[in-house]
Amino acid sequence: MTHDSLPSHTSGSVDDGPFEPGLRAVSSETFDVEPPYVPNEGSLPLADFPDRFLDRELSWLHFNQRVLELAEDASLPLLERARFLAIFASNLDEFFMVRVAGLKRRIAAGVAVRAASGHLPREVLESIWGSTGELMARHAAVFQRDLVPALRAEGIELVRWEDLDKDEQKQCKRLFKERVFPVLTPLAVDPAHPFPYISGLSLNIAVLVRNPKTKKEHFARVKVPPIFSRFVPLGNQRFVPLEDVIGEHLKRLFPGMEVLEAHTFRVTRNEDLEVEEDDAENLLAALEKELLRRKFGPPVRLEVEESIHPRVLELLVSELGVSPGEVVQLPGPLDLRGVNDIADLAREDLKYDAYVPTTHTELAEVESASPVDVFKAARRNNVLLHHPYDSFATSVQRFLEQSAADPHVLAIKQTLYRTSGDSPIIDALVDAAEAGKQVLVIVEIKARFDETNNIRWARKLEHAGCHVVYGLVGLKTHCKLSMVVRDEPDGIRRYTHIGTGNYNPKTARLYEDFGLITADQAIGEDVAHLFNNLSGFSRNASYEQLLVAPDSVRDGLIEQVHAEIEHHRAGRPARIRLKANSIVDETTIDALYLASQAGVPVQLLVRGICAVRPGVPGLSETIEVRSVLGRFLEHSRVFEFAGGGEPTAWIGSADLMHRNLDRRVEVLVRLPTQELVGRVAEVLDLAFDDDTSAWTLGADAQWTRTSGTQHLHQVLIEQHRQRRR
């Protein structure tokens, strides 16, 4: 879910641009796996299963359907259901802005290449419109039929203008006059006024007015100001949509005219960025220029109220340049992202029980009230963090804050992909630079929909004296790394943090992620080499404890898969368990199919997109695919292998997608001890327990919800509370 922002997606093609020295691109144009092994006798070649890959776009829609099912689940706290309703709407907006826009662009360019699923772009687009139409109608019905009555029963009322009493109408009239009216700008359409530009995702009112003297009708557009609350509070937990308040007072905007009709509408535009990095002398300037263009992307969807007059709809379709098939008619109100405001109400009785993350046992204060020295703790033991159960503030944030203040720290090197608006991570790096420490920050300014924020942070860091690198040409730097160089009595020592999630204190309370704080010398040396690759001209591309994309993640994981096949054939323990946000990469999936054909058990825990087709006789009979959604956003990437009785596990930033394996700098770290491997294995054991509530994927590409008696997140909350006690 997006709370990230649930979740973003890019096309599966490989960048054509050059790559930095030491980082090699791996082509994914072919899906054939050529291992040094052959399938079991009698197994069919993979080519005999042409439909073995599920379509990624349709799989994503199934993911968002699972989010919608949570909004429909009457067993969940009511305001949490409201939150899932808003998340579904936000997710779908991003899907249209990026994925549907990309398909339209390919069709317009005449790029009719079949996807790995065998579908042409136009076929996928037609399927998308069929599925999204049903989902949007279902989403609106959940709001009207289920959520609004259930909220009313709890004393929270979402009403329309006609439901207001006289005192409430007077209150809204005063609000309109004093605050809303001064902000509004009605834009007429006539020979002197061209049809106005409609910004993406803005809520608008299409108004039809008539001159009482000439009887001539005119069209005008009024934008609903996004600076005000989407639902206007009336007191006593009663709310009315802002567009209702504006719509009732349109005569104030068009004095002397007759207001005939008013209908809300909303446009979704292509908001994906295309920065020609190879031709840009200054990547920062090129990105800023492209951000301005984003506002003017072509439309990909038009949402209107069901009550809209046909001639008004015809005008909108004509002026906006959308096809009739891209129009969605829904019962009002539109844009239910605003339900987030309702979900934020201080009604703890209608939410999940409050949970405050606890300090990891290795970092917890024992006798004194002063914070634990993170450096001493890391020298004593490797610290495996599991957020949000383990507090981000008392672990990763404290690690960087102590590093900034410690006079023995000589340097800090850090990657930043996304962070919060008031980030203590940024403040710590600024403090370190101002204290004279060497600070290198790799800021990925091309992080989708966070570009503007990251540009601002990059400049702030530069002004403080940090060395700032804006990623690499042709690659996004998506890895989650922090390295501290400290002068100690026995020499220079490196401390590293490698995580699966962003350095964002806010999302760390909602996103499930793993992180490793360690003083392990081999890991520290690998991370040091990688930072040199990112900031300079180092040509080192070999690592002992890391897999680094685009050089070695795909190849390294496939090598592990093949090793499990050999262990199974030799009668040794063999099993593959992967946890990721998305699994799409065909080469890796084919390796998993080979493992299944050889009889190796394969378990996949996938939050979002999954192109694997499990349970197909002769192909994937030993593959199980599960998805867990709920209180927290499952975000970590874990790769566990039985290893013939010596299990190994890797954690890191890489999903199994083309963009991650070919067009991003990603890092997986091998957990250095069996104790830590056992810790992630326990989480996977719980996730795949038959009694754990989850969705399972069938060979027919359909997800089925299983109603277990325990929920993964709640069990882990209780386990961490017990551990802390």
**Residue whose C-alpha is closest to residue 409's, from 486, 477, 327, 346:** 486
Encode burial over 42-74: b for 16+ CB neighbours within 10 A, e otherwise: ebeebeebeebbbbbbbbbbbbbbbbbbbbbee
- Closest CA relative to residue 86, chosen from 345, 348, 342, 448: 342
User: Residue 165 phi/psi, 5° resolution?
Assistant: -85, 175
Per-residue tokens: 256: 């002397």
CB 567 within 8 A of CB 559: no
Residue at token pair 């796996």: 33
Please give the C-alpha separations between residue 227 and each of 42, 184, 186, 202, 224, in angstroms, as whole numbers. Answer: 65, 11, 17, 11, 9
* Residues paired with residue 416 on neighbouring β-strands, in sequence order: 443
Alpha carbons 586 and 612: distance in angstroms, whole number: 9
Task: Tell me the residue type at 535.
Answer: S
Query: Rounded CA gap, 530 and 541, in Å?
Result: 8
Task: With H, G, I as helix, E, B as strand and everything else as coil, classify residue 46.
Answer: helix
Q: Are 263 and 285 in contact (CB under 8 A)?
A: no
Among residues 673, 386, 406, the alpha carbon closest in space to that of 518 is found at 673
CA pair distance 633, 641, nearest whole angstrom? 24
Give kind and range of the element (H or E) at residue 86. helix 78-95
Q: What is the 3-state secondary structure (H, E, C) of 153-216?
A: HCCCEECCHHHCCHHHHHHHHHHHHHHHHHHCCCEEEECCECCCCCCCCCEEEEEEEECCCCCC
| Strand bridging mode 217-223 / 187-189 | antiparallel
Active site residue 478: yes
> Using the 8-state DSSP alphabet, how is residue 350 labeled?
G
Q: What is the DSSP string of 363-416?
A: GS-SSSSSPP-HHHHHHHS-EEEEETTB-SIIIIIHHHHHHHH-TTEEEEEEEE
Per the residue annotation, which of 478, 497, 562, 635 is the catalytic one?
478
Which segments within 270-395 are labelled E, that is strand? 299-305, 327-330, 383-387
Q: In three state form, how does the secondary structure of 670-722 look? A: ECCCHHHHHHHHHHHHHHCCCCECEEEECCCCCEEEECCCECHHHHHHHHHHH
* CA end-to-end span of the chain: 32
Nearest to 102 by CA among 273, 348, 260, 315: 273
Positions marked active-site: 478
